[in-house]
Structure 1
Amino acid sequence: MANLQTKTNELLVFALCAIFLAMMVSNYFGQQAAGLTYNVLNMSITGPLVLFSIIQILRNKYYSQLGKAWICFSSFATLWFVAEVIWLVDELVYHVKPWPSEADYFWFAGYPMYFMFSMYYLKPFKALISKRVIFLASVTTITVAVFSISVSELQNIDFSEPEAIIGLAYPIADAATLFPITVSLNLFLRGQVNFLWMLLMIGMLCFVVSDLGFLIFTLDDSYYSGHPIDTIYLWAYTFLLFGSYNQLLVFKKRNSKNRFDMQESLR
């Protein structure tokens, strides 16, 4: 198991480096090349992510803890995949500005699904989560939300514009996901869970960072599809993909009693 984890970690590092290199090289050749590279890589990652999440549903009984968790995660992954497809079609087929667009409805709909998944993910560790950790997670969530609003106010944005409202809504929605992420990081730093277990949380943490960057670059009109900040978006999906793959390796057999804390070498 340890050898498998090492190989998975090595493959993850390779994937992250390859994505970074591809994005930097494509940006060197211009915005059009960067946009095309980003969209191709995006579909190459999000497609398998949806597939892995669906396999998890089929592998686990729907009424079990794992089954319910993966229904939520699969819903989240599918909604965001649809959003990415809409973005791609708008940009590469219709050649229109893909933001804001109908894709935003699917992205926003995915947040509650991910949050519910994270609750199922953390539920087996309930006894290890203290009130102090809950307080810290709450403060982190509120702080990031306030910071996002402050950044927008410093830019003197016009909140009568739908684009501005949507741009601000993403960091605020991301801030809500920081609650389970902060709790998970606490478990990881205390040695209660391993790095591969954390990937499904680290992925969303990357979205928090990239959405904040997207907001900043959009407000000063310097963002374009394939912008270097999009590298973090691709990393986020990559972390989620490898996290899902790791769970497939851990729970190879269907068992309604499987729990997220019942893993060999979890610590």
Structure 2
Amino acid sequence: MGEPDVVPEILSNPLNLYVIIAILVAGAAIFTSMQFLSEDDVGIFAFSLSVVFAGGAAVVAFFVSKQYQTGVLAKAYLFLGLGFTSYVTAELLYYSFELVFNIEPYPSIADVFFFALYPLVLGHLLLNIRFFNSGFSKTQKLWIPAIPVFAIVVYVTMSLGVPDAEANFDFYYGLIFVSGASVTLSFTIVGALTFRQGTLGTVWLLLVIGLMINAAGDVWYYHLEIFGEYSDAHPVTTVWFVANMFVIYALCKHIKTI
């Protein structure tokens, strides 16, 4: 990939190791707390934290977009803000079905808003990557599809490799989301490789790491749904919280660099 366009040197500011440790400790504390709550209480607890973290990421992303005012980066962070807004909407619907109406939340209309996160995050990543680079290398063009292909193969194998398995609605429905999540995961890795150098700043690297963790959590979740093994107290729920905390931290640092 080509050399990035001119980027202010201030964007290379260092990360605060104590904040990163605090995020990880908070994640561990949240997971531990959920193991001691009843099923109803853990649902309310998970819902509250999900809205707070995803909503916080949306607000800060919109603020970053406004700081850029116009141009490619303003549009990129607008996409990111819209993505997390869609995620918050999905969570509100998901937990309303589960906690208020006692309706199975998966599948439901909430999934439309969950899925909307993927194209919006992809838009954010592609705008940033294209802005700072001339294109993808031949090697990257080969391995970018590798992650989605691997995730889909694993999903199909796990889904159809059990006794009496069949390619029914649930199978194809889950396949759509695994595809979206794994494609997003693939491009977050491209973003991490793009922004790993100090020239582009650790802020962007931290942001795409947060998005990468979130996408990886989604892939994990849809594989869990194959066997109905997901619950609010499952570790993947905490993975999403930690991912959003990383995103918020990265965006807050980004504001200071504009």
State the TM bucket, normalised to the shorter chain: 0.7 to 0.9
Which residue in the other structure is 1:12 paired with? 20
Unaligned runs of 5+ in 1: 252-267
* Alpha-carbon contact 2:182-2:219 (below 8 Å) kept: no
Asked if 1:53 is matched to 2:61, the reply is yes
> Secondary structure at the residue paired with 1:143?
helix
* Alpha-carbon contact 2:43-2:95 (below 8 Å) kept: no
Asked if 1:198 is matched to 2:227, the reply is no
Letter in 2 for 1:169: I
Asked if 1:244 is matched to 2:251, the reply is yes
Q: Percent identity?
A: 19
Residues 149/248 of structure 1: CA separation in 2 closer, same or farther (3 Å cut): farther
Shift of 1:12: 3.2
> Secondary structure at the residue paired with 1:229?
helix
Shift of 1:175: 1.6
Pairing 1:1-267 to 2, within 5 Å after superposition: 5-7=14-16, 9-62=17-70, 64-127=71-134, 129-155=136-162, 157-161=165-169, 163-187=170-194, 193-251=200-258
Q: Tell me how many residue pairs correspond in the alignment.
A: 248
Shift of 1:28: 2.9
TM-score calculated relative to the size of structure 1: 0.81
* Alpha-carbon contact 2:196-2:202 (below 8 Å) kept: no
> Secondary structure at the residue paired with 1:218?
helix
TM-score calculated relative to the size of structure 2: 0.83
> Secondary structure at the residue paired with 2:133?
helix
Residues 90/5 of structure 1: CA separation in 2 closer, same or farther (3 Å cut): farther
Shift of 1:137: 2.0
Letter in 2 for 1:130: S
Of 199-208 and 185-194, deviating more is 185-194
Residues 155/125 of structure 1: CA separation in 2 closer, same or farther (3 Å cut): farther
Shift of 1:117: 0.9
Residues 218/173 of structure 1: CA separation in 2 closer, same or farther (3 Å cut): same
The CA RMSD measured in Å over matched residues stands at 2.6
